[in-house]
Amino acid sequence: MTPPHASSPAPSPVPPGSTGLSSPPGPPRPRPPSATALSGLRVLDLATLFAGPLAATLLGDFGAEVIKVEHPRRPDPSRGHGPAKDGVGLWWKMLGRNKRTVTLDLSSPDGRDTLLRLAADADVVIENFRPGTLERWGLGWDELSRANPRLVLARVTGFGQFGPYSHRPGFGTLAEAMSGFAAATGEPDGPPTLPPFGLADSVTALATAYAVMTALTARTATGRGQVVDMAIIEPMLAVLGPGPLWYDQLGYVQPRCGNRSRNNAPRNTYRTADDRWVAVSTSAQSVAERVMRLVGRPELIDEPWFASGNGRAGHADELDAAVGGWIARRPRTEVLAAFEKAEAAIAPVYDVRDVMDDPQYRALDTVTEVEDPELGTIRMQNVLFRLSETPGAIRWPGRPHGADTEAVLTELGLGPGDISALRARGAV
């Protein structure tokens, strides 16, 4: 039985969603019968690198028709990020999945006109240019909404569309620094620490996909699209918890505390006798009590400070010594089995090799196989969640730069001569 969010193993063509643009935009296109949640939704992905494109990927995973628009001579830099195999960027294979790829020079008159024709039959445009760039090209909200009043325009930038920093270049790293994440991450006596992956971009992508769906839901009531203004510095701040509230009411600034928590203890990573690592969490009082019984220190449960997470956090040294000492005398398999039997929360610390071999991930098909014309069978993360009635799917991995330009332009009603003329003028 195929898991409900498993990928389709082979690429398949996307049914054309364009109806030609000789007439003004009318009511939304009827959704064809389908078991896919977002079938019939058309998304134009104009963004580069990670936050905006990943938001489009999340929509495409559940059936939206995503058209990736790249510059003819400057493709999305994500194609060249990270390791490659046989000259093919692997990050792009995941980020570009379920997208058709076309090239357009949006700064040229021909590119502008073609983009407006695509937007007239689209539901969503996602872009991440600096504020004012689309307006300079004649592709701002006024022009886009005139071409399609039902359009949702998602604008993803480092600092938002207004304010003193709005025209600065912005990347996820800056958001990780400015949100307070880096200041709170790392060892107490060490420097602020940045994540080794695109954390802020990924959080922003999730927030953008949510914002787009919220705007589309509003459209069903109003009949009108709107602008989503997404600043990468804001979703990171939102997921960091009540820091602003703590500071506002108490003047409290969360310090760096390594793998410990300021809210409860024991909570840390611990080395086992066979030089492996495990992570323990005791957010629930009942779990904290089970852990102390397991490690042979039940008397600590009766201490007045043990009754709350804050109280336990104030005695983290003593609790870590008890838990860490017990774990250090045993191999990891024994530690994991004992914690599981005691119904105490523990997990092995994995790297990607462990993830690929873990039976729970295998059962969920979290990392799935996809057939790729360039590389053969490849494995990547599956769609983000499982829906019982309208599951998502990886229909194909990232395609070559501009691979679908001719097909998409033909659907717009352009003939071979028109497309050749656009090519000759450098617009595609």
Question: Which of 76, 201, 320, 404 is labelled catalytic?
Answer: 201
| Contact in structure between 294 and 342 (CB atoms under 8 Å) | yes
Residue 118 identity: L
Distance CA(114)–CA(93), nearest Å, equals: 26
Distance CA(40)–CA(16), nearest Å, equals: 10
Strands ordered across the beta sheet of 277-280: 268-271, 277-280, 346-348
Distance CA(75)–CA(229), nearest Å, equals: 24
* Number of other CB atoms surrounding residue 191 within 10 Å: 11
Q: In angstroms, how far is the first alpha carbon of the chain from the final one?
A: 43
Active site residue 201: yes
Distance CA(330)–CA(144), nearest Å, equals: 64
CA-derived radius of gyration, the chain: 25
Q: State which H helix or E strand residue 233 sits in.
A: helix 233-239
Distance CA(410)–CA(403), nearest Å, equals: 13
Query: Any residues with CB less than 8 A from the CB of 422 and at least 6 apart, and which?
Result: 110, 114, 409, 414, 428
Distances (CA, A) of 75 to 103, 328, 336, 421, 425: 8, 51, 47, 21, 18
- Pairing of the two strands 268-271 and 277-280: antiparallel
Alpha helices in 329-394 (DSSP H): 332-341, 352-357, 359-364
| Contact in structure between 95 and 394 (CB atoms under 8 Å) | no
- Looking from the CA of 33 toward its CB, the CA atoms found within 13 Å total 0
Evaluate the omega torsion of the peptide bond into residue 266 and state whether it is cis, within 30 degrees of 0: yes
By annotation, the residues acting in catalysis are 201
